[in-house]
């Protein structure tokens, strides 16, 4: 077994983790800012298009025509989701809630 056989899937998983961090971190950021915005639909729509475009381009670049590298990206992408979710929940200020009067 050659070194490239182990290195390429590992790099694919790291690339997937980076893409997942960008995607889910961007979603977290969008929700926090979009809910305070006067035009949340614009925030959510533009964010979705940008995040999806970046992730698709990233998967295409990382995959490089090899389905095995694409498959290696998926676990990293999903692990990033769990990490951003866990870290995002910690950054919420204790006692901070959205009152019904503040809801859009």
End-to-end CA distance of the chain: 58
Q: How far is 9 from 2, CA to CA, in rounded Å?
A: 12
Please state, as a whole number, how many other Cβ atoms lie within 10 Å of the Cβ of residue 101: 5
Give the pLDDT mean for 34-58.
93
CA 57 vs CA 4, 14, 16, 54: distances in Å: 23, 16, 12, 5
Count, residues in the chain: 104
Check whether 69 has a pLDDT greater than 80: yes
51 or 9, higher pLDDT = 51
Two tokens at 6? 């182990």
Percent pLDDT > 70 in the chain is 82
Give the pLDDT mean for 59-68.
88
Ranges of each domain in the chain: 38-83
pLDDT of residue 63: 87
CA 46 vs CA 35, 78, 81: distances in Å: 14, 23, 20
Model-level pTM? Answer: 0.78
- Which pLDDT band, with edges at 50, 70 and 90, does 86 fall under? confident
Q: How far is 103 from 91, CA to CA, in rounded Å?
A: 21
């Amino acid at each position: 077994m050659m070194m490239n056989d182990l290195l390429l899937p590992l790099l694919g998983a790291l690339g997937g983790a980076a893409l997942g961090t960008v995607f889910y971190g961007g979603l977290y950021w969008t929700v926090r800012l979009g809910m305070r915005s006067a035009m949340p639909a614009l925030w959510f729509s533009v964010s979705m298009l940008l995040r999806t475009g970046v992730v698709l381009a990233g998967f295409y670049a990382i995959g490089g025509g090899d389905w095995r590298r694409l498959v290696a990206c998926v676990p990293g992408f999903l692990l990033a989701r769990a990490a951003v979710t866990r870290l995002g929940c910690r950054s919420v200020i204790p006692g901070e809630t959205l009152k019904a009067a503040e809801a859009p």
